[in-house]
Amino acid sequence: MTSQGFESIANELVAAIDLLSDSHLRVPAMLLLYAGIDIMASLDRAESSVEVKPDDFVAWTSRYLLPDTHLECSAEDLYAARCGLLHTYTAESRRSRKGKARQIWYAWGDASAEELQSLIDRTDVPAAVAVHVDDLRAAFRRAVERFKESLLDDSEKANLVHDRAHMFFGDLPVSPKVGNRC
């Protein structure tokens, strides 16, 4: 797959997240966002690694998504949130139950993460951190751009990423069969 093909697929993923969120389908947008982080992490994993591991998600998030954001969560919190949302459609995950990560509670629309965090702090909820959905979307969008930019400076990494991206689903032009239509 060419660099242009990888970028097109990455841009399509970001656009789909935005489309869902802008249509007020926020939880499905978050599901796709976490899947997007998984996908990017799978491309960025070590060359010798055959499968994606939680550490790959955490490393990609730490390297590309969290820098220069106002997000108060950690990469571990985001991984736990991903697990909770994808596996049970809740904020709770095995890691949050074991105290290895905080639950992420989401603010959206006109609500602020700060106000939600203030509410969380006044309850007896186990450790939780508030994140505004739009802030996480913006961080993901910037992270994808940072990841793409990192490939410009490292041709070996770029080749590995493009080789892995070659396996992505894509559109294939299909034309109607010519001739006998029985």
- 127, exposed or middle or buried, with CB in 10 Å at 0-12, 13-18, 19+? exposed
If pLDDT is split at 50, 70 and 90, which confidence band does 161 have?
Answer: confident
8-47, pLDDT tens digit by residue? 888 999 999 999 999 999 999 999 999 999 999 999 988 7
If pLDDT is split at 50, 70 and 90, which confidence band does 123 have?
Answer: confident
CB 51 within 8 Å of CB 134: no
50-109, pLDDT tens digit by residue? 788 999 999 999 999 999 999 999 999 999 999 999 999 999 999 999 999 999 999 999
- Average the pLDDT over 131-138 and give the result: 96
CB 93 within 8 Å of CB 84: yes
As beta bridge partners, residue 129 has 104
CB 45 within 8 Å of CB 56: yes
The pLDDT of residue 1 is: 46
Q: Which helix (H) or strand (E) holds 103?
A: strand 103-107
As beta bridge partners, residue 131 has 106
The pLDDT of residue 105 is: 95
pTM for the whole structure: 0.88
